[in-house]
Structure 1
């Protein structure tokens, strides 16, 4: 047997193995996206699936959007690199940034997130017209990890010398903004705090009767949501993701629909320093 004929099968086996490895690597090239569950899972899928499809075209890789069960799960998913891109609230970004030792990086935020607000709502016949009127009442926040549904409303209450645990008859946590609205409408609680954009969406879609339940207090502005990645993601991919998000244009019908679903006029670049105020508010409120 010649050396050539001896090595030919070996070479073929090595090429086959290399091909299988390459195929396996290719098959596993999936860019994973998730979000904090600020609304029901079905609504999250409706909102973010078109964005995932857009990113798939822009990045040239398969993109999958999968909802998670709660806010802490979104934090852990990115910290442990189980997903590649997460839509965080400002507070969950702070938690992920601290939990990862600074290795969670914010790429883009909506223009609206530079001066976000929360609203407090109550039944119009409840007699609640101010924050002080909430004393002795049953009050709901959203998730404990929510920026607009808990952290910042709590922070503004504390600034008004109102301590929820001492001054309210009961403090509840609904888990999501839509559930917060439902808790007031149904009479489970007397008043509640939530994301202003979710409230406006419900009002705009006639899902709540403002003659029966309406806003009695709107907070000052603060930085909020962003799209974040792990710092271990190659810089070239980070830049590609950021460019894709910032590149969404209201002038392109398909992209305008994505922006509308995301309640955004456009996306702009953001940086960790924008969320230092939220970190300070969380520390003052004893949440971190």
Structure 2
């Protein structure tokens, strides 16, 4: 009897230890596993920091787990981070999204609204003192023009305008073109400032970011002319890793749809957020295929 009591006590003690160990392990895993988000640099990194801190706080509360938001220095870095499972969610440009979807199965779930609509355009802008008044003028005088794209992986700052200029016979690549020079500034605000300061004769830019830069006073809108506008482009997606569970996706959607903080919205030139799906980016996918960026 005495041996049986000792054995029973020992068994209960082991079970208690196992349970405590399991709970501790689960708690540690929860603490260690932050939900990570990568963001492309639609503006220079420093300009976005405060807004991203606010977004991080909102999502941490809504997901009830630590959330870490990081603005990457270039577009491709966000694609590779998703591809190598370094992040759980990303804010992509449409082009970087279709590349990430192709490489790693990223899934678009949210996009931004501009004046209530999920669309924007690619602009080609010049200084008001420029003699250029149309894209035809730009093409005719290309040998005299220093031209600026944004990031090479940007939809509106590179892909769409480069296709237009290629179709018009003045651009093939950074090294093969009919311009005086071609440069990639790395971000939309850098392109706008290069045009404003007449460091380049014309540049390609996201229409929504351009308008936001004007409204915020970061550039002087009276110093610009828009000489070309693309067809409508579906707005930048927020996309999750292919393994993200449905419960987390629903929490993320709810959190974004409820955001009304002006500083967060302003960082993206947005008036709000709405749901998005992969099919919304089919036209961008076809453009990427045309340029040989992804295979059909």
> Which of 102, 109, 112 in structure 1 is aligned with 2:111?
109
Distance 1:5 1:107, change over 3 A: same
Q: CA deviation at 1:36?
A: 0.8
Distance 1:159 1:274, change over 3 A: farther
Alignment: residue pair count: 281
Q: CA deviation at 1:27?
A: 1.1
What residue is the counterpart of 1:233 in the other structure? 244
What residue is the counterpart of 1:20 in the other structure? 24
CA distance, structure 1, for counterparts of residue 43 and residue 71 of structure 2: 10
**2:59–2:67 contact (8 Å) kept in structure 1:** yes
Q: Report the more deviating stretch, 119-128 or 4-13.
A: 4-13
CA distance, structure 2, for counterparts of residue 256 and residue 37 of structure 1: 19
2:265 alignment partner, SS class: helix
Equivalent positions of 1:24-39 (< 5 A) are 24-39=28-43
What residue is the counterpart of 1:278 in the other structure? 284
CA distance, structure 1, for counterparts of residue 109 and residue 91 of structure 2: 10
Higher CA-based Rg: 2
The answer to whether 1:57 aligns with 2:79 is no
The answer to whether 1:79 aligns with 2:83 is yes
CA distance, structure 2, for counterparts of residue 151 and residue 233 of structure 1: 29
CA distance, structure 2, for counterparts of residue 12 and residue 278 of structure 1: 57
Q: Over residues 209-267 of structure 1, what are the superposed CA-to-partner deviations in whole Å (9 max), with x where a residue is unaligned?
A: 3444433322221213011001211112112212222233x5xxxx4554344322222
Gaps (5+ residues) in structure 1? none
CA distance, structure 1, for counterparts of residue 82 and residue 198 of structure 2: 37
CA distance, structure 1, for counterparts of residue 129 and residue 166 of structure 2: 26
CA distance, structure 1, for counterparts of residue 192 and residue 263 of structure 2: 25
CA distance, structure 2, for counterparts of residue 65 and residue 145 of structure 1: 21
> Which of 255, 265, 269 in structure 2 is aligned with 1:263?
269
CA distance, structure 2, for counterparts of residue 82 and residue 163 of structure 1: 35
1:172 alignment partner, SS class: strand
TM-score by length of 1: 0.88
Q: Over residues 58-98 of structure 1, what are the superposed CA-to-partner deviations in whole Å (9 max), with x where a residue is unaligned?
A: 22112111122211110122222211221111000011011
CA distance, structure 1, for counterparts of residue 272 and residue 76 of structure 2: 27
Equivalent positions of 1:1-288 (< 5 A) are 2-7=6-11, 10-100=14-104, 103-112=105-114, 114-134=118-138, 135-136=142-143, 137-163=145-171, 165-248=176-259, 250=260, 255=261, 257-288=263-294
CA distance, structure 1, for counterparts of residue 264 and residue 202 of structure 2: 32
Q: What root-mean-square deviation, in Å, do the aligned CA atoms of Structure 1 and Structure 2 show? A: 2.2
Gaps (5+ residues) in structure 2? none
